[in-house]
């Protein structure tokens, strides 16, 4: 039987740089990483079912977009592999309305928000309280990235137009938060939570450009609250790997404005102007590999007849 320490299920072409970096750093630690793509998924499932392949842990970056990967995650889970992130936790974390209510109930500072029901269930116009302000943000509870998001809504008509777009989904009508300026930067942060480690980054919400936030600057600029907020969100969401957006508002409060994004966009900044700084990607990779190292001893070597099936396909 071939045993590996970490399988990475992925299907987005832009994940290639991250997966290659993960595999390379794993090799230097004596850990074996097996990338599983749509090209070799069927072979992997057959080998798992036949007892030729055992996964000790799985980083799932595919089943949310490609349902054919769901059996892989279920097989791995059933065999006792550690899953990052567990599928049922990942599914729950995709609901921004649920997340808002969960975080607010546990004292996480979040913007004033009205949750509108699905248009198909209740098409009546929602009441817009004065506390919502103008303009305000409208976003679908199940959306990803910026799909369906309106940043400058002003009227009920704007809300109703948005609600008709994803008419089966709930919508968040959220107070717009304006960041404080810190040494010429917008005080908007995207914080990575990775297997217990917290990695905060500057993240410009206009340009979407990242920059590392050094520990010294975190202390000097009074941003030490970022880490505890991200860790608490990780506990509440029961996720191993996600990002959260936190803003230092003009009133001096840290507010969580986008609760848990997963799978994380891990495009490298050396390849994409709005990608994650390469040094931060390495920190993320190291945090994942620390978890994998703690979970198991390094796996035995692949059988020679087995490993080329995978190695040749994912590198193409």
pLDDT tier at 296, thresholds 50, 70, 90 = low
Q: Check pLDDT > 70 for residue 303.
A: no
The per-residue pLDDT for range 127-166, each reduced to its tens digit, is 999 999 999 999 999 977 678 899 999 999 999 999 999 9
What pLDDT is attached to residue 100? 97
Q: What is the reported pLDDT for 311?
A: 40
Determine contact, residues 310/4, Cβ cutoff 8 Å: no
**Given a cut of 80, is residue 88 above it in pLDDT?**
yes
Query: With pLDDT > 70 as the criterion, what percentage of the chain qualifies?
Result: 92
Give the separation between CA 168 and CA 287, rounded to whole angstroms.
37
Query: 């980054």: which residue's tokens?
Result: 201
The continuous run of DSSP H or E covering 96 comes out as helix 96-105
Instruction: Provide the Cα torsion 56, 59, 64, 69; round to 10°.
Output: -40
Q: What is the mean pLDDT of residues 257-282?
A: 96
Distance CA 70, CA 168 (A): 23
Instruction: Give the pair of three-digit tokens for residue 295.
Output: 């979970």
Q: What is the mean pLDDT of residues 233-256?
A: 96
Q: Do the Cβ atoms of 310 and 55 come closer than 8 Å? A: no
Task: Assign 308 a pLDDT band (cuts: 50, 70, 90).
Answer: very low
Which structure tokens are listed for 71? 């059996």
- Distance of alpha carbon 36 from alpha carbon 310, whole angstroms: 8
* pTM assigned to the model: 0.91
SS (H, E, C) 137-188: EEEECCCCCCCCCEEEECCHHHHHHHHHHCCCCCEEEEECCCECEECCEECE
pLDDT in tens, 214-227: 999 999 999 999 99
pLDDT at 87: 87
pLDDT value of residue 146: 74
Would you say residue 287 has pLDDT above 50? Answer: yes
Rounded CA-CA distance 260/98 in Å is 11
Residue 204 has pLDDT above 80, yes or no: yes
Place of tokens 């941003």: 223
- Is residue 313 predicted with pLDDT exceeding 50? no
């Amino acid at each position: 039987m071939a045993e590996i320490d970490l399988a990475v299920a992925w299907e987005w072409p832009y994940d290639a740089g991250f997966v290659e970096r993960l595999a390379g750093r794993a090799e230097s630690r004596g850990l074996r990483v097996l990338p599983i793509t749509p090209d070799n998924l069927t072979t992997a499932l057959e080998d798992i079912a036949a007892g030729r392949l055992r996964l000790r842990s799985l980083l799932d970056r595919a089943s949310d977009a490609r349902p054919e990967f769901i059996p892989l995650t279920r097989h791995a889970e059933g065999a006792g592999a550690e899953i990052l992130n567990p599928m049922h936790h990942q599914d729950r974390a995709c609901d921004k309305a649920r997340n808002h209510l969960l975080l607010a109930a546990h004292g996480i500072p979040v913007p004033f928000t009205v949750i509108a029901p699905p248009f198909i269930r209740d098409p009546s116009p929602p009441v817009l309280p004065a506390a919502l302000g103008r303009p305000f943000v409208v976003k679908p509870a199940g959306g990803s990235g910026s799909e369906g998001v309106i940043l400058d809504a002003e009227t009920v008509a704007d809300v109703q137009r948005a609600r008709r777009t994803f008419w089966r989904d709930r919508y968040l009508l959220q107070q717009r938060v304006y960041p404080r300026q810190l040494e010429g930067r917008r005080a908007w942060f995207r914080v990575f939570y990775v297997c217990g480690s917290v990695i905060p980054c500057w993240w410009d919400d206009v340009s979407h450009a990242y920059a590392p936030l050094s520990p010294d600057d975190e202390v000097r600029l009074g941003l030490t609250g970022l880490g505890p907020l991200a860790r608490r969100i990780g506990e509440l969401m029961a996720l191993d790997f996600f990002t959260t957006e936190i803003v230092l508002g003009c009133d001096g409060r840290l507010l969580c404005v986008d609760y848990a994004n997963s799978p994380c966009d891990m495009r490298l900044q050396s390849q994409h102007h709005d990608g994650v700084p390469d040094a931060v990607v390495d920190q993320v990779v190291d945090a994942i590999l620390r978890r994998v190292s703690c979970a198991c001893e390094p796996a035995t070597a692949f059988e020679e007849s087995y490993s080329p099936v995978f190695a040749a396909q994912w590198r193409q």
